[in-house]
Amino acid sequence: MSEVIIVMPTYNEAENIRKLVPSILQVLAENRIDGYILVVDDSSPDGTADVAEQMGRETGKVRVLKRPGKLGLGSAYVDGFKYVFDNMVTAKYVCEMDADGSHPPEILPQMVSLAEKGGYDVIIASRYIHGGRWGERSLTRSMISRGANILARASTGINVKDLTSGYRIIRLDILKRVVDKLSKLHSGYVFQVELLYFLHKAGAKISEYPFIFKPRMHGRSKLGRGEIISFALWCLRSMLTRLIHQ
Ligand SMILES: Nc1nc2c(ncn2[C@@H]2O[C@H](COP(=O)(O)OP(=O)(O)OP(=O)(O)O)[C@@H](O)[C@H]2O)c(=O)[nH]1
Ligand SMILES: [Mg+2]
């Protein structure tokens, strides 16, 4: 099957990737998917990059892109995508996946298969379509996520239920169509919605696949108040821009 590069931004996820990386590689092998993991690490003090490099030496299936400091989730993905464009030219899809175990690698083959059979450019793992949901999780967190989705839908007009999901596969061909926009993307979490908006405007065919979002395995969340504020500001600005240009 097609080559998939899992781009995985990390900040202090050493314990998590020790478990997650082997399970991803097992899923890929069992489903005969030719795939690699690209860890994009921001000099995590817990030594995440060293752990990933060690797994790379052992398996030949993990590459590590090291950055000098914590530069944000969005910019980690953009640097990861550029690395894929430059160094992994045979890849057909990139997959965005968190490193904390919230995104089950078991559904990756179904996501690829849905993209292939349906001719989709983007498949989003979704908590908000039939069969998808939050695992045990705080009410506050899921309410923030639902609110963020309402805002994101109103500001982009994209008819997708889980616009903020960080688990997706994207065809390289469509990503290349927005390559000049990548450096303009926000460096933080709002990048997810912003990228989808660019892809939507570039004509991407988008679909969703249900999943159960599990709580992170170890460590602390990096989603802070600053991220939530810049997300809301971006949505309001985009909503106004759309209203003015209608
Ligand atoms: N390289 C890099 N990775 C980051 C940065 N911020 C977050 N991440 C990674 O992005 C992924 C998502 O971050 P999380 O902290 O899990 O955010 P979340 O899923 O909204 O929050 P929780 O699941 O509640 O912890 C994880 O793999 C993080 O390690 C960053 O600045 N740089
Ligand atoms: Mg998480």
**pLDDT for the residue numbered 244:** 86
**pLDDT for the residue numbered 2:** 64
Ligand 1 binding pocket, CB closer than 6 Å: 9-11, 13, 40-42, 70-73, 76, 98-100, 102, 216, 221-223
Query: Which range marks the domain in which residue 138 is found?
Result: 4-245
Q: What whole-number distance in Å separates Cα of residue 228 and Cα of residue 93? A: 29
| Residue ranges in the chain whose pLDDT is less than 50 | none
Domain containing residue 83: CATH number: 3.90.550.10
What's 215's DSSP letter? P
What is the phi-psi region of residue 106: left when phi exceeds 0, alpha when psi lies from -120 to 50, beta otherwise? alpha
Ligand 1 atom nearest 220 alpha carbon: 25
Q: Could you read off the pLDDT of 139-192 as tens digits, one per residue?
A: 888 888 999 999 999 999 999 999 999 999 999 999 999 999 998 888 888 999
The dihedral of CA 131, 132, 134, 140: what is its sign? negative
What's 69's DSSP letter? S
Q: Could you give the number of structural domains in the chain? A: 1
Distance 189 CA to ligand 2 centre (A): 11
Is pTM beyond 0.75 here? yes
**pLDDT for the residue numbered 242:** 86
Which residues have a beta carbon within 5 Å of ligand 2, which is an ion? 98, 100, 102, 216
